[in-house]
């Protein structure tokens, strides 16, 4: 019995040994076959790969998001740009390669060498850009001589294209190359050295939305760096698109109306704060900044006395002139120093102390109430109203109406303007406030400073019965397929410090500016749309009280600025506008016609119903 068991054990061990041996033989056979395959069949290919380091990674730049106007008219897209690059590892012999390349590009070999040395050799295995956005003629020449140019490549990159040159340039903005400090900040995770980021306008404000994510190729290249095949690809992700609030045809109309004049036009939707127009003149071509603006072009822009690189809608600060009388009227009514029936006599001047403060009308306006004073822009009425109020009361209502502070628009470099107070002057000049200075600020002169955007926001609020909105530039952010990622809702920032009753009185005066028999802007009436507005003429240098000048004899740069602010239709406003024409002299003749043409273009259809003249608000409760 024991013998049988021993034989069985030996048989079992022998069987296991045979099976194990077969497995070992099989494994070694597979390894041998694999070795034969690698050495005999693929050996030459792998030998070539190991000798030439020809598996490389190449980054693929993503396309930046597109920008549309409110009606999805394309404003900014991307075009293919051809960049001339060199991989130093492959460009051997380097001197000979650069000599051949210099003959084609028209550069000297020394210039090309200087570009390489500027990079400090950091890009030995990576493409180094020698020239960006080369011409198609040079592209054809490079391609025709590619076998004489080892290591020289043409990379196709998406480049920004601003379709409508100089249109809304200050609003849309432009791009510029990222610098080392910005790269090191960690704020731009999808950007690398040599890439561009938004430098101005919505290109800067919405950089995170517009910037996409890079992709990449794993490439097999030959000994000269030429691509043999693509081994693997990770596709780039395009940036998101912006749908802006501006109306392109209206924007172009405003810019055309400004023409050669320096100044700005802002148009808003009073119901939500949408920026329909933001024009600043003179303008600039954003396409000049693609790939870096030349020193010569930058010098021209910098030396231009018209300051084309300033967005005058938000950066230029002007005395509000007679447009500020709206504030003085509201403050006087709210503080009860005047009412609808209060009158002052205007003989053409107001004597204060031993000085005469003149009205713009040499012969005066006679006995006049607040509605007529707004319509005829009587300085004497507002001198006396301001005197009764005092500087600090005026400042309270001006600041409560959004002046003297930022509007909150999503654009960099907005200026706050200035609304003076007695405390401000004491701190700034170490001098007390003088009563005569109150008369000047009551009519929008003196220390008062505002931006065109602030005045557009303010007149919008007057038109919509008191609601202040943050100006909105972008309605929505969408992906490349047009799916909405994020809606940007209108935002209320406050309300005018005035009752509906007093607003109605002021609105009646603004309507009479255009539709009254003696209104200062009566020449801009339209047959189908009623306009309510206010003219203004802002002095650009200090004058002694009562001092008169013949503006026609002054240098152009010393002539008055022309203002006009308005909304239309008067009873149910759909558009509010602020116009400033630098050195335009008179708001009624220089600025008001611009607003008139813009309103006519906006409504266009002659079937727009005529608004009914507002009821005299004397009895409005």
- Determine the distance from the C-alpha atom of residue 140 to the mean position of all C-alpha atoms in its chain, rounded to a whole number: 37
Q: Tell me what the mean pLDDT of segment 563-575 comes to.
A: 97
| Alpha-carbon span 578 to 460, nearest angstrom | 10
pLDDT in tens, 484-501: 999 999 999 999 999 999
Q: Please, what sign has the CA dihedral across residues 404, 524, 260, 66?
A: positive
Dihedrals phi, psi of 123, to nearest 5 degrees: -105, 45
Domain ranges in the chain? 56-244, 248-282+313-475+489-619
pLDDT band at 46 (very low <50, low <70, confident <90, very high): low
56-244 to CATH, choices 3.40.50.2300, 3.90.1310.10, 3.90.850.10, 3.10.180.10 = 3.90.1310.10
Q: Tell me what the mean pLDDT of segment 201-215 comes to.
A: 93
pLDDT in tens, 226-237: 667 777 888 888
* Beta partners for residue 349, in sequence order: 358
Q: Between vectors from CA 575 to CA 574 and to CA 580, what angle results, nearest 5°?
A: 170
Model pLDDT, residue 563: 97
> What pTM was estimated for this model as a whole?
0.83
Residue 546: CB atoms within 10 Å: 11
Does residue 312 surpass a pLDDT of 70?
yes
Task: Tokens 């691509």: give the residue.
Answer: 227
**52 HSE (CA, 13 A, CB side):** 23
pLDDT band at 49 (very low <50, low <70, confident <90, very high): low
Does residue 383 surpass a pLDDT of 50?
yes
Q: Which residues are catalytic?
A: 322
| Alpha-carbon span 371 to 618, nearest angstrom | 10
Which residues are CB-contacts of 602 (< 8 A; sequence separation ≥ 6)? 247, 250, 267, 276, 574, 575
First-last CA distance in the chain? 124
pLDDT band at 618 (very low <50, low <70, confident <90, very high): very low
Fold of the 248-282+313-475+489-619 domain: Beta-lactamase (3.40.710)
Using alpha carbons, select from 407, 443, 197 the residue that is nearest to residue 314: 407
pLDDT in tens, 437-493: 999 999 999 999 999 999 999 999 999 999 999 999 999 999 988 899 999 999 999
Higher pLDDT, 611 or 357: 357
Dihedrals phi, psi of 229, to nearest 5 degrees: -160, 160
Q: Please, what sign has the CA dihedral across residues 266, 539, 304, 258?
A: positive
């Amino acid at each position: 019995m024991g013998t049988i068991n021993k034989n069985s054990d030996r048989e079992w061990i022998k069987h296991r040994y045979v099976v194990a041996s077969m497995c070992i033989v099989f494994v070694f056979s597979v390894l041998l076959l694999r070795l034969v395959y690698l050495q005999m069949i693929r050996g030459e290919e792998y030998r070539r790969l190991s000798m030439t380091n020809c598996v490389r990674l190449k980054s693929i730049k993503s396309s930046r998001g597109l920008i549309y106007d409110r009606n999805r008219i394309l404003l900014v897209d991307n075009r293919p740009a051809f960049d001339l690059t060199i991989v130093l590892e492959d460009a051997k012999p380097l001197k000979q390669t650069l000599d051949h390349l210099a003959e084609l590009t028209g550069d000297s070999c020394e210039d090309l060498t200087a570009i390489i040395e500027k990079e400090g050799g950091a890009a030995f295995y990576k493409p180094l850009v020698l020239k960006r956005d080369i011409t198609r003629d040079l592209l054809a020449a490079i391609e025709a001589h590619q076998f004489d140019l080892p290591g020289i490549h043409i990379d196709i990159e998406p480049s920004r294209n601003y379709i409508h040159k100089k249109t809304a340039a200050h609003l849309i903005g432009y791009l510029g190359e990222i610098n080392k400090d910005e790269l090191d900040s960690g704020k731009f995770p999808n950007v690398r050295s040599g890439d561009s980021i938004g430098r101005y306008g919505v290109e800067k404000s919405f950089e995170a939305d517009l910037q996409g994510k890079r992709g990449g190729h794993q490439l097999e290249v030959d000994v000269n760096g030429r691509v043999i095949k693509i081994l693997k690809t990770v596709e780039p992700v395009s940036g998101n698109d912006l749908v802006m609030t501006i109306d392109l045809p209206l924007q172009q109309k405003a810019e055309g109306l400004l023409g050669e004049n320096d100044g700005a036009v802002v148009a808003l939707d009073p119901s939500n704060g949408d920026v329909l127009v933001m024009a600043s003149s003179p303008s600039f071509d954003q396409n000049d900044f693609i790939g870096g603006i030349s020193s010569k072009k930058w010098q021209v822009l910098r030396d231009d006395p018209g300051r084309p690189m300033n967005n005058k809608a938000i950066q230029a600060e002007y005395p509000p002139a007679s447009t500020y009388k709206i504030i003085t009227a509201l403050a006087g009514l709210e503080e009860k120093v005047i009412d609808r029936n209060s009158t002052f006599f205007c003989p053409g001047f107001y004597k204060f102390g031993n000085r005469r403060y003149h009205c713009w009308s040499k012969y005066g306006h006679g006995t006049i109430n607040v509605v007529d004073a707004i319509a005829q822009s009587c300085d004497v009425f507002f001198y006396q109203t301001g005197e009764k109020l005092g500087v600090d009361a005026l400042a309270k209502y001006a600041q409560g109406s959004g002046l003297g502070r930022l509007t909150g628009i999503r654009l960099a470099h907005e200026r706050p303007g200035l609304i003076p107070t007695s405390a401000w002057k004491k701190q700034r000049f170490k001098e007390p406030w003088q009563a005569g200075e109150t008369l000047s600020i009551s009519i929008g002169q003196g220390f008062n400073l505002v931006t065109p955007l602030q005045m557009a926001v303010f007149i919008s609020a007057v038109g919509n019965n008191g609601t202040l909105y943050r100006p909105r530039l972008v309605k929505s952010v969408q992906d490349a397929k047009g799916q909405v990622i994020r809606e940007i809702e209108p935002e209320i920032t406050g309300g005018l410090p005035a009752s509906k009753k007093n607003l109605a009185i002021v609105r009646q005066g603004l309507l009479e500016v255009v539709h009254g028999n003696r209104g200062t802007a009566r020449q801009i009436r339209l047959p189908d749309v009623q306009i309510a507005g206010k003219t203004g003429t802002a002095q650009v240098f200090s004058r002694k009280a009562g001092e008169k000048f013949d503006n026609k004899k002054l240098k152009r740069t010393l002539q008055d600025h022309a203002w006009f602010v308005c909304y239309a239709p008067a009873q149910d406003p759909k558009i509010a506008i602020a116009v400033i024409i630098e050195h335009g002299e008179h708001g009624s003749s220089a600025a008001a016609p611009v607003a008139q043409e813009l309103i006519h273009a906006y409504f266009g259809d002659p079937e727009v119903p005529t608004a009914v003249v507002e009821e005299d608000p004397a009895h409005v409760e």
